[in-house]
Amino acid sequence: MLFSDFMKVEFRQVKAGGSEFRFSVPAADLELEAEGLKFPEPIEVELTATKSGDEVIFQGAVSTLIEAECARCLELFEKQISSKLQFVIQFLDVGGPEDTGDDDFVVLPKTTADYDISERVREAIILELPFKPLCELNCRGLCPMCGGNLNETDCGCTQDKTDERWDTLRQLFGD
């Protein structure tokens, strides 16, 4: 569990007609790290809290910018990522907190003052991090022959190789 005072939702701030919460925290404060990835901007959270009986429904989104090295062409690129944030807190008159077996359904005693969302936010971001970052889906990568970036240059190496293969096929099948 992370310790953070900066990402706590205070229940007394949740009004009957719904309330909005906004947070902006550096990735380092959420212990967000991933090999080959950087977080040049803070993690932004927008959350709407709505009261419904003895429950409060939280709905919102988490977003940030990542800087990564393309797995194919090795160029650095930036990409905006975002993820939904959704959970329900139910308040009990007596007893609690209870383990509901559902991560998105939290049961707390009525006397609870606030709820730390940092772990939730952290997990939402981790789910969106690319396993194999690509600058573009159709990135052409580097030429295996000369190492040139095929998005920027047409070195011709691959072309020659392809032609050779076609020539062999043509010979085999008599064109």
List interacting residues with Zn ion (CB under 5 A): 70, 72-73, 135, 139, 143, 145-146, 148, 155, 157
Least Å distance between CB 141 and Zn ion? 6
In the complex with Zn ion, the residue whose CB is nearer, 4 or 158, is 158
In the complex with Zn ion, the residue whose CB is nearer, 34 or 61, is 34
- Token representation of residue 95: 């007893």
In the complex with Zn ion, the residue whose CB is nearer, 129 or 143, is 143
Least Å distance between CB 59 and Zn ion? 35
Q: What are the b/e assignments for 142-169, b being 16+ CB within 10 Å?
A: bbeeeebbbbeeebeebeeeeeeeeeee
- Residue 41 phi/psi, 5° resolution? -125, 160
Least Å distance between CB 82 and Zn ion? 22
User: Alpha-carbon distance 127 to 145, whole Å?
Assistant: 36
